[in-house]
Structure 1
């Protein structure tokens, strides 16, 4: 299968106002793509405005976010060639101590919201024979005690990626599941509940971002945590 060129591609980055998403946007820009930044924090989106062709402010828990992204694409870009989902939420602590609303928020942000958005943008990606790349994370393959709801939500996202890849293969749309290990993005310090345990030194976000974009260009279906670690050794 030939490599995917990103030169001239129009790519939406979900979570572009976050650390990893911002790095992914930068790498995409460096490789010739026009980036549409999607995120919750307008001030952070402005900070990466030099590498984004336009932006959409919103939260994945809002089912209308995908519709607004489609409107921006149609009005300003004319096409959408890819979506990279670098957004997410995390919580820590035993399940018995995790409030219902936290479990709901994790699934809305990590699984339901991305699926809502993809439902709305998939016709554009089919037209362009584009791609979807989603960061499910290491817990998708190694669920972790003290992170039950988070692990379950990311495993669900990974399952969705594998099933969606089967659905879209004949339509020419690539789906990449990215099981990124712990990365120094500061997400653990912004948990929606609980306190992070002592974690080992994480990977450098800029290095991970390059690996994410490499995976899109090479058109693989899954990048495991071991693959990411091997790529940094």
Structure 2
């Protein structure tokens, strides 16, 4: 998959990383479709990018996630890649988080990305890619972030298994395990306050790593995935 001319769906395009990625892909000549839950931000981004196709969705509606992939495939006349940048943070000791919040974290951080990529797998051709952002928490397993970490780890292990399934078909399955990003994401947590953390990478640095992963998948051949960008 070469970035220029590739047909790429970016769910979560109204977030900091998703919008930065959409802009970079557009600059590099990709044909993109964007999706997000913030209608005003989505309309603004679509306009900035030359009125690219845009669609609203709610990550809690898994059918809407899958339908968004179908829509993008029809709108772009095919799909070469889907890069999911959907996510929500949550902090606090497990006894303070509660089951409802834990369910929300798992749905948004794991089940929604899975729904997007599950719908994309029959459509993406050999040499294409499906990808999702997980995070360094999968490896670090920090205290005070158990439910958030568990949701991201569920997605990471799912991607690892799917990568093995897709080797014969030749679709790259990418786990974008980014370091902490200074995007304001942690400050928008659904519960709790983020712990003190060292300064992270910038959004543009994170986008650089995602682009490297996508381009590396293309260079390394369709049978190889990537655990980290």
Return the TM-score normalized by structure 2: 0.91
**Which runs of 5 or more residues in structure 2 are unaligned?**
218-223
Cα 1:103–1:10 change in 2 (3 A) is: same
**Which deviates more from structure 2 when the two are superposed, residues 210-219 or residues 65-74?**
65-74
Pick the aligned partner of 1:19 from 16, 20, 27. Answer: 16
| 4+ residue segments displaced more than 6 Å | none
Taking only aligned residues, the RMSD between alpha carbons, in angstroms, comes to 1.6
Q: Which residue of structure 1 aligns with residue 98 of structure 2?
A: 99
1:153: Cα distance to partner? 0.9
1:222: Cα distance to partner? 2.9
1:22-37 alignment, distance < 5 Å: 22-37=19-34
1:63-142 alignment, distance < 5 Å: 63-125=62-124, 127=125, 129-142=127-140
Residues 58 and 65 of structure 2 are in contact (CA less than 8 Å); yes or no, is this contact kept in structure 1? Answer: no
Q: Which residue of structure 1 aligns with residue 185 of structure 2?
A: 187
Residues 25 and 32 of structure 2 are in contact (CA less than 8 Å); yes or no, is this contact kept in structure 1? Answer: yes
Q: Secondary structure of 1:53's partner?
A: coil
Residues 56 and 68 of structure 1 are in contact (CA less than 8 Å); yes or no, is this contact kept in structure 2? Answer: no
1:74: Cα distance to partner? 4.2
1:185: Cα distance to partner? 1.0
Cα 1:211–1:46 change in 2 (3 A) is: same
Tell me, yes or no, if structure 1 residue 167 matches structure 2 residue 171. no
The number of residue pairs the alignment matches comes to 221
Tell me, yes or no, if structure 1 residue 202 matches structure 2 residue 200. yes
Q: Which residue of structure 2 aligns with residue 222 of structure 1?
A: 226
Residues 129 and 173 of structure 2 are in contact (CA less than 8 Å); yes or no, is this contact kept in structure 1? Answer: yes
Q: Distance in 2 between matches of 1:163 and 1:147?
A: 24
Q: Distance in 1 between matches of 2:206 and 2:198?
A: 16
1:129: Cα distance to partner? 4.1
Pick the aligned partner of 2:39 from 39, 42, 61. Answer: 42
